Structure 1
Amino acid sequence: MQLAYSNDRLSSRMAADPSATGEPEAESSVIEWLLHDDQVMRECFTHAAEILKSVTGAAITAITLLDEEYQHYRAEVGMAMPLVTRARSLADYAVRDAELFVIEDAHDDNRFGECMLVQRYPFVRFYAAIALRAPNGEIVGALCAMDPSPGRLDAGQRGVFYHLRAMIENDLKMRTATAIDPLTQLYNRRFLLESIARRWKEAQDGDVMGSVVVDVDWFKQYNDTYGHPAGDSCLRKVASVMQAAADGEHIVAGRMGGEEFGLLVLQAECAALGDTLETLRQGVEELAIEQRASPLGVVTVSVGASLTRISEGSRLAHRDGLASADRALYRAKHGGRNQGTMA
């Protein structure tokens, strides 16, 4: 396996049923974080892929991340790889195996006869992958190697897959402990602010960022009435509404602290941002969580937001965006609560 490629794209498609894995999906906040924001894990992925290529001699090595719909390649070595649907990816098939998954020659395996990765350039015949898991045991993706020639792995090479998996999962465990709020499974305050600062710095002139602050109405009274365990359960349910919004849009969501949440909306527009505020407000109200201490009878939220067009003058002003959103939140709360207000 000596062939190497660069600056090319390929498609990996294979019919498979994701539900057949019997595995739960990874936390979407963890996948979002790995896809976009964590430089430390990016470096870990790159080192692992480079080591795997050196040891196996495979033409292409990579980390793949699997969300509900897609397979995303990260840290590709040997060839740039495209986004493909999860249901038609080799990685989705590979993570069904509890151990190392190896195809020595795809031409001799009828399961892969329709796979574009096999039938089209780079005509992969050898493929090996091992599942990667989040600290809670859920699958986030795979470490893989592939080549256009048939191949085998000796015992030493197989062992490297397991050692690299242990290294990646250990780094992932340490990083998630510092990035994810343990109660809500959203980003914590520090990581949310770091992520927002990075997104603003990387934005192009003319991009519009939406800053959003969400506060649970009368939450102290809720805790006093129902107790802190019920309060924790309430926050988890409210957080699920924040995460649902982040899953469907270009949104980064996190817990700022206590009953307050923050969101960054990428490529924001005024009308769409207003719709997002209403989606958040309505989504929490529709949870129908009883709240006897509220005049509304159910748990609700107040939402404030602001828009900032990125320029050289505003590139480092991400905190100003949140401060403006916070002032809008103040007006929403003093205007009766259970409403969204734009700055």
Structure 2
Amino acid sequence: MQLAYSNDRLASRMPADPSAAGEAEVESSVIEWLLHDDQVMRECFTHAAEILKSVTGAAITAIVLLDEEHQHYRAEVGMAMPLVSRARSLADYAVRDDELFVIEDAHRDTRFNDCMLVQRHPFVRFYAALALRAPHGEIVGALCAMDPQPGRLDDGQRGVFHHLRAMIENDLKMRTATAIDPLTQLYNRRFLLESIARRWKEARDGDVMGSVVVDVDWFKQYNDTYGHQAGDHCLRRVASVMQAAADNERIVAGRMGGEEFGLLVLDAHPAVLEHTLETLRRGVAELAIEHRASPLGVVTVSIGAALTRITELSRPAHRDGFASADRALYSSKHNGRNRVTMA
């Protein structure tokens, strides 16, 4: 394949879109992590895109991450790719099965009449992509190569796609093991604290960050009454409510240890945050997990939250936000538990 571009460079990340027919979608927290929080995976993506370009000769190679609405580009080689919605992307077709997806000339295929990459610069004609999966099997995105000229792949080039996918998915599996709490599937304490520090540092002046601490009420008594295996099951169910909140809002959620959880809320607004946290509190109570050692009869959570507007003075002080949230949590506990207190 004789291809045109020579101005190789890595480009900025873009938003992406995911929903493969019949496939379980990856949790948005994993996409957030891959987009913003892991340097090791960024380097893995870069190496894969560079190798793929060298082997295929394609003008552009990239890793594409998919969420529900958008297509996010990572580690593009060849040019910076424009923002594309998932509904108008080629990757949305590519992730519908596990086979290598190849279009030799998109201009001759009416399926792609509305595809932005085909109809606008870089006017893609050749496109090849292979779906990428998270450790539990959910679709994360795709490894792709594209070119403004028609093209095809030989057997050796097709094999490289599969070898690179195995490399990426293996690295993702190992990195997930170091970032995720195995019991709750939320971020673990170390990774949560690293993410909080990084997001706080990257925030712009004037942004408002929400620091939240969540504690399961009378959890020691729950373990004493029902046993540690039941306690683990309880924490998993509580964490699922927290993950649902994180998926619906711009929230980074993790387990701080034991029965305590931490949330960082990006672009927080007081009324919205309080509503979100009340929904979380009610969601846990509505699980209706029996708790005979609680005066409330079911498992509940107490929540403390604080808001910080980012300035030059507050930028290094992410710990202060969580210290305020911790004091608010103490107030929730002191005033009867099963409540939200805003500092």
TM-score by length of 1: 0.92
Tell me, what secondary structure is at the counterpart of 1:172?
helix
Q: Distance in 1 between matches of 2:244 and 2:49?
A: 32
Q: Distance in 2 between matches of 1:69 and 1:113?
A: 19
Q: Contact (CA 8 Å) 2:209, 2:267: kept in 1 or not? A: yes
Q: Contact (CA 8 Å) 1:60, 1:147: kept in 2 or not? A: yes
Structure 1: 5+ residue stretches without partners: none
- Pair 210,18 (structure 1): closer, same or farther in 2 beyond 3 Å: closer
Q: Contact (CA 8 Å) 2:252, 2:263: kept in 1 or not? A: yes
- Worse overlay, 42-51 or 178-187: 42-51
Cα offset, 1:29, TM superposition: 2.6
Q: How many equivalent pairs are there?
A: 339
Matched, 1:159 2:126: no
2:308 equivalent in structure 1: 308
Cα offset, 1:38, TM superposition: 1.1
1:2 equivalent in structure 2: 3
Tell me, what secondary structure is at the counterpart of 2:4?
coil
Q: Distance in 1 between matches of 2:143 and 2:188?
A: 28
Tell me, what secondary structure is at the counterpart of 1:328?
helix
- Worse overlay, 68-77 or 81-90: 81-90
1:337 equivalent in structure 2: 337
Cα offset, 1:6, TM superposition: 8.4
Matched, 1:68 2:65: no
2:122 equivalent in structure 1: 122
Cα offset, 1:19, TM superposition: 5.3
Q: Deviations over 1:213-261 (max 9, x none)?
A: 0001011111222222222221111111111111122111111111111
- Worse overlay, 271-280 or 43-52: 271-280
Q: Contact (CA 8 Å) 1:12, 1:115: kept in 2 or not? A: no
2:320 equivalent in structure 1: 320
The one-letter amino acid paired with 2:3 is Q
Structure 2: 5+ residue stretches without partners: none
Q: Distance in 1 between matches of 2:334 and 2:112?
A: 61
Cα offset, 1:304, TM superposition: 0.4
* Aligned Cα root-mean-square deviation (Å): 2.4
TM-score by length of 2: 0.92
Matched, 1:195 2:195: yes
The one-letter amino acid paired with 2:34 is L
Q: Distance in 2 between matches of 1:323 and 1:215?
A: 14
Q: Contact (CA 8 Å) 2:212, 2:304: kept in 1 or not? A: yes
Q: Contact (CA 8 Å) 2:124, 2:147: kept in 1 or not? A: yes
Q: Contact (CA 8 Å) 1:13, 1:117: kept in 2 or not? A: no
Question: What does 1:257-296 align with in structure 2 at a 5 Å threshold?
Answer: 257-296=257-296
1:229 equivalent in structure 2: 229
Q: Deviations over 1:66-116 (max 9, x none)?
A: 223332221122232344333432212112232221111123334323333
Q: Contact (CA 8 Å) 2:288, 2:299: kept in 1 or not? A: yes
1:30 equivalent in structure 2: 30
The one-letter amino acid paired with 1:308 is T
Which stretches of structure 1, 4 residues or more, deviate above 3 A after TM superposition? 5-9, 11-14, 82-85
Tell me, what secondary structure is at the counterpart of 1:117?
helix
Cα offset, 1:12, TM superposition: 12
- Pair 136,82 (structure 1): closer, same or farther in 2 beyond 3 Å: same
- Worse overlay, 187-196 or 117-126: 117-126
Tell me, what secondary structure is at the counterpart of 1:294?
coil
Tell me, what secondary structure is at the counterpart of 2:156?
helix
Q: Distance in 2 between matches of 1:166 and 1:154?
A: 19
1:137 equivalent in structure 2: 137
- Pair 179,12 (structure 1): closer, same or farther in 2 beyond 3 Å: closer
The one-letter amino acid paired with 1:48 is A
The one-letter amino acid paired with 2:296 is L
Q: Distance in 1 between matches of 2:226 and 2:198?
A: 39
Q: Distance in 2 between matches of 1:114 and 1:205?
A: 39
Cα offset, 1:270, TM superposition: 2.3
1:217 equivalent in structure 2: 217
Q: Deviations over 1:150-187 (max 9, x none)?
A: 00112222222122112211211111010011111111
Question: What does 1:75-86 align with in structure 2 at a 5 Å threshold?
Answer: 75-86=75-86
Q: Distance in 1 between matches of 2:340 and 2:248?
A: 19
Q: Distance in 2 between matches of 1:58 and 1:340?
A: 54
1:208 equivalent in structure 2: 208
The one-letter amino acid paired with 2:28 is S
Tell me, what secondary structure is at the counterpart of 2:294?
coil
Q: Distance in 2 between matches of 1:267 and 1:299?
A: 30
Q: Distance in 1 between matches of 2:73 and 2:125?
A: 19
- Worse overlay, 114-123 or 236-245: 114-123
Matched, 1:183 2:183: yes
1:248 equivalent in structure 2: 248
Q: Distance in 2 between matches of 1:232 and 1:69?
A: 34
> Identity over aligned residues, as a percent?
83
Q: Distance in 2 between matches of 1:78 and 1:208?
A: 37
The one-letter amino acid paired with 1:228 is H
Q: Distance in 1 between matches of 2:117 and 2:16?
A: 6
The one-letter amino acid paired with 2:107 is H
